[in-house]
Structure 1
Amino acid sequence: MAIQTSKLSDPAVRAFVTAVNAHDRDGFLHLLTPDATMADDGADRDLAEWIDNEIFSSHGHMDVAAESDGGRALIAQYRNDTWGEMRTAWRFTVTPDGHISRFETGQA
């Protein structure tokens, strides 16, 4: 059973999921620090290229199944037009001012 996005514990992570699901690229980018980084399946990736390919040009969508670590770790069903649907794990590093400086994802 999915957790409603509005019920996610961490405000930055909640906004991240909301932006992904709304295909709100500007809102998504506003959440990140200027030097934000990310990794996919343990390998650092080019952030701008990855979000374009895996989220925005491929209609990415997250249905969160579970959260831990105060809402900064998620298990989600993630789907996009490229890969279909898969169970994924997400971990977020959030700055004191509420921006995401790093996120990591991969198959769960």
Structure 2
Amino acid sequence: MTIQPTRLRDPAVRAFVAAVNAHDREAFRALLAPDATMADDGFDRDLADWAEREIFASRGHLEVDNESRGGRALVARYANDTWGEMRTRWAFTVAEDGKIARFETGQA
């Protein structure tokens, strides 16, 4: 059963999913701490390059199936025009100011 993005518990993660699904680059960037980092399948990536390629240029979309760790860990079906749909895991580190300091994703 899919969890609607508006029902996700963590405000930063909720906004992240909304920005990804709306393909809203400005909203996405506004959610991130200035020195935010990310990893894909266990490897650190250049966040700006990865987001452009995997989210924005390829029309990425998240359908959340499960959340844990107070809403900062997700299992979701992620789809984009490059890879199609896959089951993925997402983990978020949110700073005290509410900005996303790091996220990690990969196949679940």
Secondary structure of the corresponding residue to residue 9 of structure 1: coil
The list of structure 1 runs, each at least 4 consecutive aligned residues, that deviate by more than 4 angstroms after superposition, is none
- Correspondences of 1:56-95 after superposition (within 5 Å): 56-95=56-95
The share of aligned pairs that are identical, in percent, is 70
Deviation at 1:96?
Answer: 1.0
How many aligned residue pairs are there? 108
How far did residue 42 of structure 1 move? 0.1
Cα RMSD for the two superposed structures: 0.3
Q: Partner letter of residue 23 of structure 1? A: H
Q: Distance in 2 between matches of 1:4 and 1:47?
A: 25
Partner residue of 1:11? 11
- CA deviations 1:16-75 (Å, max 9, x no partner) are 000000000000000000100000000000111100000000000000000000000000
TM-score by length of 1: 0.99
| Structure-2 separation of matches of 1:107 and 1:28 | 22
**TM-score, structure 2 as length reference:** 0.99
1:92-103 correspondence runs (5 A): 92-103=92-103
Structure 2 residue identity aligned to 1:73: A
In structure 2, what is the equivalent of residue 54 of structure 1? 54
